Structure 1
């Protein structure tokens, strides 16, 4: 039946008279090309967000770099100030952060806090509980050679324990601590200034390359100065508070 229909169609169409019955003609469909082009466009558009995500932000009001720099400076300053002796009390973190050289033949060192437990006993005494008896000598050497002016003493009842008397603060020790606090303050202030300088340079580059409107750059610059001023104030307040406590201890 199909053959009869095919012969009938071929007889009515002169173009098909010389074509064998078992041969089919296939035409290229424009629709297929359109679908392919559309698929390519979809694929290209899907990859565009990934490329644009790698482009750095050109927003002049993005002050995250400045905020991060100030936050880092303040955090380090407070950490340095907390390690100073205040109010006649000794901060055990100072001992725990000391580096201990277990062998004279090696330059490798370990934090004291990883080798022993530092326990405040009240008054002016701190005890140190070592994990191994072989660590007592290098622990003692690290404490004596530090600038803490401490002299560990073996405990008569515990072979793994060192007793460390804390001397009362003197004018010399107070002045020394205040000087150390001042150095930490100056270091923090320098970090804030460097962060402000990096932000200022970024705004200048944006203005030269015309990546932002001049009015937006001026406004961003004003915001930068306000953030910097607040950061400098936070650094100064932390130092002044610690200095007052150290001088009264």
Structure 2
């Protein structure tokens, strides 16, 4: 009897109908959940909650600071800069030569005086004002023969300030009012003297020296740019070296052209 009672204690009681229905409902709910996961997520993918750290996608905008919309654009010309681009030097030499030609054309050569040297003078119409006007905008400067220049003034009130400017210009000119026209000034050109010839040559030499300085400044700017490119390793050393050789050759050519212009003008002045 005691043994039978012990065996009866080990035998489990059969589950009740309520327990069976609860178990079946839990299994059905689990199958539904698995089906929903399989249809909502493609094959081979993982749930975010169960994915390891290495499977999580990185934020590209955080890993690459320069890829954001507010990131600063790369510096222009750094990668595309050409060491053989000597346009700055070419423009500088061209401007220096052109300016020298203009200055030499205004000088008096062989007893003749360029009308541009008179038309370029600055006239102050009002004594109390610092504003000046180019003489060529107030009058017409017309050459009359080899030793005479006529100035036709647009308004009679401008005659006096124009006369004062011409007298004080340092060109050794003395305008004379025309007896038949109050708006006309006649300017006789005196023959050159040794003193005036030397003064003209000195002015020409000064203009030449300024032109040479302008060429050197243009060369210095290009040389500094090439050195900076080599320092930052933007260009290859061989390219920088060849560009510097071209720079030196063009600089020498520009300086030679400036000196040749001066020598030609000097010979013409000495023959006068």
TM-score by length of 1: 0.77
Name the counterpart of 2:168: 145
Q: 1:43-87 CA distances to partner (integer Å, 9 max, x unpaired)?
A: xxxxxxxx7894365211111111111111111111111110112
CA distance in 2, matches of 1:78, 1:120: 20
Give me the whole-angstrom Cα distance separating, in 1, the residues matched to 2:95 and 2:211. Answer: 9
Looking at structure 2, the residues matched to 244 and 161 of structure 1 have their Cα atoms a distance apart, in angstroms, of: 35
Deviations 1:159-192 (A, max 9, x none): 1111111111011111011000000000000011
Match of 2:266 in 1: 243
Higher RCO (CA 8 Å, separation ≥ 6 residues): 1
Is the CA contact (8 Å cut-off) linking 2:111 and 2:190 kept in structure 1? no
Root-mean-square deviation (Å): 1.7
Alpha-carbon distance in structure 2 between the residues aligned to 1:86 and 1:245? 7
In structure 1, the residue matched to 2:124 is: 101
> Which stretches in structure 1 are left out of the alignment for 5+ residues?
1-50
Deviation, 1:141, is: 0.7
Tell me the residue number matched to 2:210: 187
Does residue 133 of structure 2 align to residue 133 of structure 1?
no
| Count of aligned residue pairs for this structure pair | 201
Q: Which runs of 5+ in 2 are unaligned?
A: 1-72
Structure 2 equivalent of residue 17 of structure 1: none
The aligned runs of 1:68-147 (5 Å cut-off) are: 68-147=91-170
CA distance in 1 between counterparts of 2:74 and 2:154 reads 55
- Scaled by the length of structure 2, the TM-score of the pair is 0.71
Shift of 1:123: 3.0
